[in-house]
Amino acid sequence: MPPRVRPSYPGDTLNDGGDLIMRAMCDVFEAIETRRAVRAFRPDPVPRETVEAILDLAARAPSGSNIQPWKVWVVTGAAKERLSQRILAAHEADDPEQQEEYPYYPDRWEEPYLARRRQLGLALYGLLGIAKGDNAAMKRQFGRNYSFFGAPVGLILTIDRSLNQGSWFDLGTFLQSILLAARGFGLDTCPQQAFAKFNRLIRAELAIPESQVVACGIALGHADPQAPENQLHTPREPRAAFATFVES
């Protein structure tokens, strides 16, 4: 088998020996710092080669015993629009056939998680001018998930139903790797668990086997800097609130 040739990436240059050197648009520290959930994208296309390069990089994510439990379904163009329209119709109709196939949020919210969730909701809806209790406007805004917030590329991540919780940790490392690799190309993302509710519809539309759990979606593209919702910057707890150092 011939050696695998890495595709050229934006910013690549040649060194004195003629070898291709990858130049990311930001380093790993900047990628972590600037990664955020973008909820409005420009329609500018993302080349397939760039999406492939992001997935190639993300595939280096760690997994227990190197089982690599993830699969990705990439939707663009007419296929993405068709999927979005079908999900939006089901969302607007409150289709009872569409049910979550795994629990994501707790059955009962407790502190400090409830306060953090409320803080995010108030901040986001405040930027959008949606008043507390305006359920119709909230539902419309939530429905924008299913158009991938206008991004030109949508990803659906799945995991084999036979696997246990440990493999879901692995899926999380793969998900984060996609988000950070996208920043290296100057792109933005939004991880979207909202798609899991419509797993039956998505599985049928994309011919995903029943053996695969629809875990989440990811919107991928260029952020719209003028969109008010993209002015949201979520706070993080200080290190002292979550880290314990045991030294003796």
Q: What total of structural domains would you count in the chain? A: 1
Does 16 fall in a domain?
A: no
Does 161 fall in a domain?
A: yes
Does 124 fall in a domain?
A: no
For residues 78-96, give the mean pLDDT: 97
Give phi and psi for 108, each to the nearest 5. Answer: -135, 125
Query: Where is 146: in which H helix or E strand?
Result: none
According to the model, what pLDDT value does residue 24 have?
76
Are 64 and 18 a contacting pair, CB within 8 Å?
no
Does 179 fall in a domain?
A: yes
How far is it, in rounded angstroms, from Cα 57 to Cα 72? 14
According to the model, what pLDDT value does residue 13 have?
54
How far is it, in rounded angstroms, from Cα 76 to Cα 67? 28
pLDDT in tens, 109-134: 999 999 999 999 999 999 999 999 99
**pLDDT tier, 12 (very low <50, low <70, confident <90, very high otherwise):** low
Helical pair 135-143 and 77-92, crossing angle rounded to 10 deg: 160
pLDDT above 60 (res 15)? no
Q: What is the rounded end-to-end Cα distance, in angstroms, of the chain?
A: 53
**CATH number for position 205:** 3.40.109.10
Domain that holds residue 182: 22-102+146-232
**pLDDT tier, 25 (very low <50, low <70, confident <90, very high otherwise):** confident
For residues 186-199, give the mean pLDDT: 98
According to the model, what pLDDT value does residue 17 have?
52
Are 232 and 241 a contacting pair, CB within 8 Å?
no
Position with higher pLDDT, 1 vs 46? 46
For residues 136-154, give the mean pLDDT: 97
For residues 191-215, give the mean pLDDT: 98
**pLDDT tier, 3 (very low <50, low <70, confident <90, very high otherwise):** very low
> How much of the chain, in percent, has pLDDT values that exceed 70?
91
pLDDT in tens, 44-57: 999 999 999 999 99
Does 107 fall in a domain?
A: no
Does 130 fall in a domain?
A: no
Does 81 fall in a domain?
A: yes
pLDDT above 50 (res 5)? no
Does 38 fall in a domain?
A: yes
